[in-house]
Amino acid sequence: MAALNSQRQKMKMQQKLTPQQLLLMRLLQLPVTTLEQRIKEEVEKNPMLEVNEMEPQDQYDSTDRVDPNDEDGDFRGIDIDEYYDDDDYSYRERLEKDRNIEERQMDYSDSESFTESLMRQYNLRNLTERERTIGNEIIGSIDGSGYLGRDIQIIANDMAFRAGIEVTDEEMGKVLKEIQSLDPAGVGARNLQECLSLQLHRIQNPDEDTKIATSIVDKHFNQLTNKHYASLMTALKIDEKQLNRALATIRRLNPKPGWGREDEHKGAHYIIPDFIVSNEGGQLAFSLSDRNRPKLQLNSEYTEMMQQLSGQNKLKNSERETLQFIKSKTEAAQWLINTLEQRYETLATTMGAIVKYQQAYFLSGDTADLRPMRLKDIAQLTGYDESTISRVANEKYVQTNFGTFLLKNLFSKAVATEQGEALATEHLKEALRQIIDNEDKRNPLTDEAITEMLSKLGFILSRRTVTKYRESMDIPSGRMRKELNTNH
């Protein structure tokens, strides 16, 4: 009986994938930059493949629109001390240079840039669409050192000229103040004095040395830069020890809050966005880079040769071998061309579903509008397998009006609130980030304390879960944050 059972065939229901389906699965998960390299290799290997150079490679098409009503869906030579020695660079000498009308390349580092970080922080604020537009214009004029490189009046004039938006001085000042509250402290300053002042005023529960340092920077900056220390002590009614401690506080500030941030990712892999989503007057439009649709075609010379050989009655052995070779290469080439077209259609269908599902977020750029989204949700909308959606989201970047990021970052599990509301984990992360940003840096919060604060906001989580999210955001523990602040 055992022998009989061992001989029994086990019947399994299996879906056998065709070679073309297997090829599609492999190509789907490739980002556009890797796809281009893969295609280059295939063209080199297969003589039947050639690129149609007459077609542009850098255009965008396949634009689709989503209806939001559809429910379905100036310091120079300052020498306070050696710490502030600089290469005599003036942040005002580029006043008239408009960086915003320069041609911008569509290349982005796969790490968040300084400008992207500012954009992300700013767009998380509770803003009107007008404030968002003005703020993004100002942030675009902040240089790599963190300073505002253009006069706000020039920025306002430029907005009126290019976009027909009239902005008052009061509005510009209000938005700039909001930007100057972003991290790192001191960003958006128009000169060194303002930069140092912004940092000093950001310090919570300032001690006596910090208060004196703030008074020096705000009211006696010329005396400071000219090293008129005796005059400073007289004006502030302080002794030499107090002055030295205040100067030490100033030296610990960062004269260039953005310094090195734009260069810190040099050498990183630069990519081209696979998808572009834009907000055009309240309507969303998305497109795919035409690099996702390479202009491949069959080699005309070899195709003509194959037709000639196929039309002959008698062929020599060498001719038969040549015909067989051309036919096999033609079949492989046609497979690739068809599969690439199918890949393009799959990407477009999937992205269309994602834009519709997250239309509130793409319209506002506010993570508060980000819906919990699983692979299963998009699979149901498109009719594709979850594995297909996963491959589409793999290493693909989406460019929006408020930044460029990995498509997979839009997929998140839901976090239940006290009221039973399901929110995307991004809401939790943002709440956690704000709690830590606002903590007393001299006495950072423990994970237990953070858990309690989150619970008051409606997030009912265990301490272990909070620790997991903190670590996933690369935020050190409370003890480590205290050591880092002390060392700083």
User: Is residue 237's pLDDT more than 90?
Assistant: yes
User: Does domain 414-487 fall into CATH 1.10.10.60?
Assistant: yes
- The overall average pLDDT reported for the chain is 76
Entry pTM = 0.47
Q: Residue 392's CB: how many other CB atoms inside 10 A?
A: 27
* Highest mean pLDDT of the ranges 20-24, 70-74, 195-199, 449-453: 195-199
User: Could you tell me which residues come within 8 angstroms of residue 195 by beta carbon, excluding any fewer than 6 positions away?
Assistant: 146, 147, 186, 189, 255, 257
Query: Averaged over 187-204, what is the pLDDT?
Result: 92
User: Is residue 279's pLDDT more than 80?
Assistant: yes
What CA dihedral angle connects 203, 209, 213 and 215, to 10 degrees?
100
Cα 249 to Cα 196, 199, 242, 244, distances in angstroms: 11, 11, 11, 9
User: Could you tell me which residues come within 8 angstroms of residue 334 by beta carbon, excluding any fewer than 6 positions away?
Assistant: 298
Looking at residue 485, what is its pLDDT?
60
The 10s digit of each residue's pLDDT in 19-43 is 767 778 888 888 887 788 888 888 8
User: Is residue 177's pLDDT more than 90?
Assistant: yes
CA angle 353, 355, 356 (to 5 degrees): 65
Query: Averaged over 183-199, what is the pLDDT?
Result: 91
Residue 214 — pLDDT band, cuts 50, 70, 90?
Answer: very high
User: Is residue 305's pLDDT more than 90?
Assistant: no
- In 316-376, DSSP assigns E strands to none
Residue 91 — pLDDT band, cuts 50, 70, 90?
Answer: very low
Looking at residue 484, what is its pLDDT?
61
CATH 1.10.10.60 in the chain is located at: 414-487
* Highest mean pLDDT of the ranges 65-69, 108-112, 214-218: 214-218
Q: Residue 144's CB: how many other CB atoms inside 10 A?
A: 16
What proportion of the chain, given as a percentage, has pLDDT over 90?
16
Convert 47-80 into a string of H (helix), E (strand) and C (coil). Answer: CCEEECCCCCCCCEEEEEEECCCCCCCCCCCCCC
Cβ(402)–Cβ(119) below 8 Å: yes
